[in-house]
Structure formats: C-alpha cells, structure tokens
Amino acid sequence: MAALPAPSESAWAGLSALLLDFDGVIIDTEYAHYAAWREAFREHGLWLATDTWAAHWASGRGPSAQPKTSFTDVLAARLGRRLDDPAAVTGQVRERYVALREVLPLRPGIAAWLTDAARHGVRCAVVTDGEQEYVMTVLRKFGLADTVTDVVGRKPGRAPKPEPDGYLAALADLGMEAEKTVAVEDSPHGIAAARAAGLRVLVTPNKVSTTLLAPIADAVIVDPRLVPLGRALALLETGLPATPPTAPPAATRIRSCLAGIGLGDALGKIIDKRTRAELDPETHNALDAFATGEAPPSVFTGRITDDTVLTLAFAASITTHGHAHRDALEAELRRINPNGGRQIYKLRASDTPFHVAADGDTNGCVPRSAAIAFLHTPDTLGELCYDTLKSATLTHSAPDAVMSALLFALSVSHAIAGHPPQAAGHAIRTNLSSLIRMAGGGRDAAEAVLAHSRPLPVATYIDHLDETLGFDVRARSSAISGICLGLSGIPPRDFLPVLLRRPRTGDLDSVAAIACGLAYAFAPQDLPEAWITRVEQYADTSLEQIALGLAELRPGR
C-alpha cells in the first residue's frame, strides 16, 4: 500500500490560489485601532476591554447589519455625559491609529505562509477594502512583494468584502476559480463574504476578533505561528465529505467486517495449526474453491473460534447498552464460552470489582475491537481509542497488544466510513505519538504496520510478513501481520489460500480473521456470500441484523 503523502504536501493538490485579507491577517491593524481607542478611554478614566471594542467593530458589517453607532457615543454613554468635542476625540484617535499602524510588525507566521505558498506554485493575492498602494508599501517593507502576485484594493463600483460581491469581483478580476481558491480571513464578516462567494476559508483570529469566531462549515481556525500552511490546508480538507455518495452504507460495511472476521476465522480453523506439508487433499480443495469463487465444500462448516465469538458478544453488549459499557463487556467475558483464550480465564480468576489485566501480549483483544470501532467515525478518534483501551485492558496489558487493538479499531473505523486503506495508514502515522502514550508503548508494532503495509506480489508479500513479523500468537506478530494484510489492498481470495498454506505453523485463524475483517470492510462488494452463509448458520445469527443495530448507534446516522 502506498503511503499517503504527509499533510504538508498532500493538501496542496487542487489548490491554485490563496486570497488573503490585509487588515488583521497580514498586519494586525484592528488591534492598532483598538489600542488607539483604549488610550482615549484611559484619558477619560475608563478601561476599554478587547471584547467591548470587538463587538462594536463587528457591528454594522454585512448585508443585513444595522447602521453602526459612533464609538464616541459609546464613550459618552460610559461616561454618562456628552463629550465636549466628539470630532476632536475622533481626530485624536485617528492620528494615534496611523502612528501605531506605521510600526506594526507582520502577523507572526504569515510570512512563512506566503513563502510556502509561493514555493508550491500557489498564486497569492491580497484583497482589501483599503488602499492598494499602502498594502504594497507594507509588503515591500517586509520583503514579501515577490510572494504576492496581485493586490485588489477598494475601487469604484466594487462592493466591500462584507458583501459577497466583494470577493466575487476579486475572483473575476484575478481570473480565479472559487473551488480552487482558499481565502484567509480574520473576522466573522470577512468569513461570511468569502463563504458567500463559494470559497473555503482559513481563519486566523487576531487579538480583537478571536472572541467573535465560531466554527463553521468549510472553514478552520488556525494560528499561523503554530500551524504551517500545508497543515492548515490539510485540516481544511478533512472538513469536506470523505465518503462518495455512492459508497455502501455503514451497515453494509459493518456486516462485511463481521463476516470477514468470521470467514477468516473459520477458514483458518480448518488448517488447525497444520503446516502446508500436513494438509489433506480435502483442505487444499477447499482453499482452491475459495480462490476460484466456487461454492464451499462440506469440509468448510463455518466453525468459528474465540476471535469471532467474542466480537459478536461485544457487538451484542454494545447494541443492548447503546455504548461500550466497560462493566457490561467484562460481565460478557466472564459469562460466555470463549472457545479458547487463556486471558479470558485469567479474568475469571480475578475477584476484584475493577479488573485490569496484569499481563497478556497475545492477539485476543484485537478482533473484538472491531465492535468498538463500529460505534465511531474517524473524526471521533479520541472516543474510539478510549473505548478500545477499556475493552483491551480487560484481558491484555502488554503495550504491543493494546497498540494492536488500537490500530485495528482505527483502521476499521476508516473502512466503515468508506475511506480507502491509505487513509487509515495516514491516521496511524499522524497520530503515532498519541497512540504510543495511550498504549503505554508499542512503537515497534505501530511502525511495523507503517513499514510493511505495502503492495507486493501476493506470495512474495506473505513470505515477507512471515519472515519479518511472523504469524505466531503474539499480538506483535499475528495481529500486526493481519492488519498489514488488511491494509494492503490485496483481495482475500488472493491472499487467504497463500496465507493458509504455510511451511510453518502459526495462529493463522487470527491472522486471517483480522486481515479479512479489514479487507471486506474496505471492499464489501468482494464478500463471498455462499461462504458467509455457512458462518451465519454455525453461529446461529444474522450478521445483517447485528450490523443494522450497530449502525443505528453511529453518530450522524
């Protein structure tokens, strides 16, 4: 699987132009205006708070705004009397504002944004309601004139930016397409104007506007000092619909994931720790039938093991309680026939009211984390990881095992949302340090997924996983190998027959369950229904009904 480009590179695709506001974005003229008025208030024995000025500054803007009250009237109201000479106060404030404006520095980080945009071939233009020549003077002063191709100032016939026509006219003047252009704004009225013109917006609040801003669609609030432009664009990109309208609904993908876990588990079970040399002709025939899309032979009974049994048990508990209730999950593990699984019996030997596993580096906590992932979308990664953590630590404490459960749940979450496997790899890479802190380690396990989830010829690839990661019962081995296979993009009909004919033994039912659960969640159209029917018959359950119940619990369903 090819790695998704880093956010600072991938987010530039499709962007041809950046339109930047001047006042408040390139230099903080709004704060200079506030500071001048604050001095006037101080001379009258009053304090002018930033939010008081901000509320007044934002009023009277936009197409539906009421006429703006003079700020000298605000000062008079605070004093409780008329000003002796309002015009003199206004003139004094104006004179002080001009002096403060002349010594203003650039907004921190904005020079790096402009330089980075120019380096990526993105056309940068400044759109302002002020004077064009003054803007050019400031850009030349700070050595940024070469990074800005155009300055669109106020001119007769062009509406100011609080009106949509302000940005529409700028786009027309510059020959820019709205869908390929991003605006950089600092104020609610500027954001509204940009959005009305069809632009996505990076919002860079300044000292005055920060209290006025709230999250809105197709906009992201960032600080240029702390967030590079590429990263800001990537954040903006994540706010766009990630799932095409034609993608299968979540319930279909949930069912496919459950079916994949059961199918891989059941096919792996007929191998039953035998090596390739020990397989009988009937088993070889079953693997050949699966590879060629034939009906399952009688040797395939659909018999599942603890990997599927516990996943279905967790799904039932979650459906009953409406969320991943830790005590209910523990009670389920204490009650159910686990069909194997040493760590379950260690849990049952514990008589503490709050059990947390003391050991466990095997893969048992991994497949069942899919049931947790069904509840969460990729944009609720924190909830997903914490729910997975409370599930995994019932039976496993080794960082590699916890990390493997987190990685599998994260990957399943992306699959159910209709994202490609690359999106899951990208999420692992960008959240690696947080995942390591949550798991208490497990860096090697996570880095192994990133290093080995790449496409190779199927036989070569599975040999590579066997030789580098292995297929034994440890989570760092079998679970990671299964995740790599599931993210590889190789269809199960191609990899399962090769995986299950190994020269060495291994926990192949768990590897196959994890790999098929992911692979079929990403590609539900590949699911071999005749084989899944056998699994459902053995489990005496309807995977579709389970999936529908879980899908109803997802946010934004």
Q: Is residue 341 in a domain?
A: yes
Tens of pLDDT, residue by residue, the chain (557 residues): 334 444 445 668 778 999 999 988 999 888 898 999 999 999 998 888 877 888 877 775 544 444 567 889 989 998 999 999 999 999 999 999 999 989 999 999 999 999 999 999 999 999 887 788 888 999 999 999 999 988 887 655 444 554 545 677 778 878 888 888 999 998 888 888 888 888 899 999 887 877 677 767 778 888 898 889 988 888 887 654 333 334 568 999 999 999 999 999 999 999 988 999 999 999 999 999 999 999 999 999 999 999 999 999 999 999 999 999 999 999 999 888 887 778 888 888 888 888 999 999 999 999 999 999 999 999 899 999 999 999 999 999 999 999 999 999 999 999 999 998 988 998 999 899 999 999 999 999 999 999 998 767 899 999 999 999 999 999 999 999 999 999 999 999 999 999 999 999 899 999 999 999 999 999 999 999 999 999 999 999 999 999 999 999 998 65
Query: Does residue 386 share a domain with residue 419?
Result: yes
Query: Does residue 109 share a domain with residue 95?
Result: no
Structure tokens of 193? Answer: 């104007």
Query: Which residue range is the domain that position 376 belongs to?
Result: 250-551
Domain boundary among 238, 260, 280: 238
Give the number of domains in the chain.
3
- Rounded to two decimals, what is the model's pTM? 0.65
- The CA distance from 323 to 255, in Å, is 18
DSSP conformation class of 367: T
Query: Does residue 52 share a domain with residue 145?
Result: no
Q: Is residue 1 in a domain?
A: no
- The CA distance from 207 to 34, in Å, is 10
Query: Does residue 532 share a domain with residue 514?
Result: yes
Contacts of 301 (CB under 8 A, 6+ apart): 266, 534, 538
- The CA distance from 395 to 306, in Å, is 13
Q: Is residue 243 in a domain?
A: no
Q: How many CB atoms lie within 10 A of CB 129?
A: 17
- The CA distance from 233 to 227, in Å, is 10
Per DSSP, the residues of 85-108 read -HHHHHHHHHHHHHHHHHTPPBPT
Query: Does residue 442 share a domain with residue 505?
Result: yes
- CA dihedral defined by 390, 393, 398, 404, rounded to 10 degrees? -50
Query: Does residue 116 share a domain with residue 214?
Result: yes
- For the chain, the 3-state helix, strand and coil shares in percent, each to the nearest 5, are 55, 5, 35
Q: Where are the alpha helices (DSSP H) in 417-542?
A: 421-430, 432-439, 443-452, 458-468, 480-487, 492-499, 508-522, 529-539
